[in-house]
Amino acid sequence: MRLDVYVPMLAALLLGAGVGPLSRLWVPHAAARILVGAGVISAGCWVWALGLLGWTAVGQVPLIARYGGWSVTVLQGADPVSPAVAYAAVGMLLALTVLLAVSAVRRTRAVVRSWTLARRLAPAANGELIVVPDEAVDAFALPAFRRPAGRRAVTRAGSGHIVVTTGMLQALGPDERRVVFAHERAHLHGHDHWWLLAAQLAAAANPLLTRLPGTVDYLLERAADEHAATAVRDRGLAARALARAGLAASRAPGRPSHGLALGYGATAVTARVAALLEAPPRSRRAALVGVGLALVFVLCCAVDAGRDVEHLFELAMYARH
């Protein structure tokens, strides 16, 4: 209890600070999933640890102690957590609840908006493809939020559509369009929207992981780029398609002007092109084992801290009866 309750916090701090270097240890597809997994586990343990710390203070409130049937004096005497820390944990938990609720509402609204978009665009679909007559240079994967009922998988992607504007189609040559289709198909196949959602919720639960969603977002784009490069068997072609699309988009009229506000910002597309011009990335197995062991250690500490708090309260209950 003395130390292990603080281990999840230290882990979250390390993960939050190390997100950048960690993301370069594996191929983008694996790195995105490893980081999201680590982020969700770390955020969960962090909330659990805060809860344990807070509970040692809340348990000393006389009304709650009477209800739970334990002795406040014994608890105060045996509790290794200082009241300041315990109350700070309670305050933090309340703040996080608000943050998490706000984030959940926002994400839900984004999902509903995309669902609306999918429903409105669906009539224009041919198979997995939806073309929108628009001079803006845009393409995106539109996940289906319901499985097509009854029918056998309508498209190979199975769970969504590829939306592309005529502006994008006109900006690219036929072989380059195949890169775009393969890229968006990779997002649909990988269920990338859910992975990003998980990263965003983990960051909402633990503000130390602020940089996680932006990094995961970039990794998912890189993974789709790598998938496209493999699909067309030509990294140079994949780089060319992305660079040409980016150039056309930056020159096209009516481009959304949200700029750098979302964090990852201006370098994302150029960094992706540059990465495609380099050798394909490699994964480091040893690093995965390291992260796995670290997570198991954090989980063990969280469980152990839980047991310690349980014993503390058992002691206080025993003393009372």
Burial 228-247 (b: 16+ CB within 10 A, else e): bbebbebbebbbbbbbbbbe
Q: Report, in Å, the least distance between residue 217 CB and Zn ion.
A: 9
Q: Give, as ranges, the residues between 195 and 224 that touch Zn ion (CB under 5 A).
A: 221, 224
Q: Give, as ranges, the residues between 219 and 258 that touch Zn ion (CB under 5 A).
A: 221, 224
34, two tokens: 């490893």
Question: What value, to the nearest 5°, has the Cα angle with vertex 309 and ends 305 and 312?
Answer: 140
What's the half-sphere exposure (Cβ side, CA atoms, 13 Å) at 231? 19
**What does DSSP assign to residue 249?**
H
Total binding residues toward other proteins, as defined by CB under 8 A: 100
Strand partners, 178: none
Task: Closer to Zn ion by CB, 59 or 190: give it.
Answer: 190
Residue 162 touching Zn ion (CB under 5 A)? no
Residue 137 touching Zn ion (CB under 5 A)? no
Task: Closer to Zn ion by CB, 53 or 222: give it.
Answer: 222
Residue 268 touching other proteins (CB under 8 A)? yes
From 45, 47, 168, 203, residue interacting with other proteins (rule: CB under 8 A): 168
Task: Closer to other proteins by CB, 4 or 128: give it.
Answer: 128
State the binding partner of 259 from Zn ion, other proteins, none, CB within 5 to 8 A by kind.
other proteins
Calculate the alpha carbon distances from 107 to 27, 159, 199, 209, 252 in Å. Answer: 27, 19, 12, 17, 29
State the binding partner of 32 from Zn ion, other proteins, none, CB within 5 to 8 A by kind.
none
State the binding partner of 320 from Zn ion, other proteins, none, CB within 5 to 8 A by kind.
none
Q: Give, as ranges, the residues between 133 and 162 that touch other proteins (CB under 8 A).
A: 133-143, 152, 154-156, 162
CA distance 83 to 70: 18
Dump strand ranges (E) for the chain.
Answer: 129-132, 139-143, 160-165
Backbone φ, ψ for residue 36 (5° rounding): -65, -45
Residue 99 touching other proteins (CB under 8 A)? no
Q: How many CB atoms lie within 10 A of CB 314?
A: 11
Residue 212 touching other proteins (CB under 8 A)? no
Residue 269 touching Zn ion (CB under 5 A)? no
Residue 265 touching other proteins (CB under 8 A)? yes
Counts for the chain of helices (H) and strands (E), in that order = 12, 3
Burial 54-76 (b: 16+ CB within 10 A, else e): bbbbbbbeeeebeeeebbbebbe
Q: Report, in Å, the least distance between residue 105 CB and other proteins.
A: 10
State the binding partner of 111 from Zn ion, other proteins, none, CB within 5 to 8 A by kind.
other proteins
State the binding partner of 170 from Zn ion, other proteins, none, CB within 5 to 8 A by kind.
other proteins
Binding site for Zn ion (CB under 5 A): 221, 224
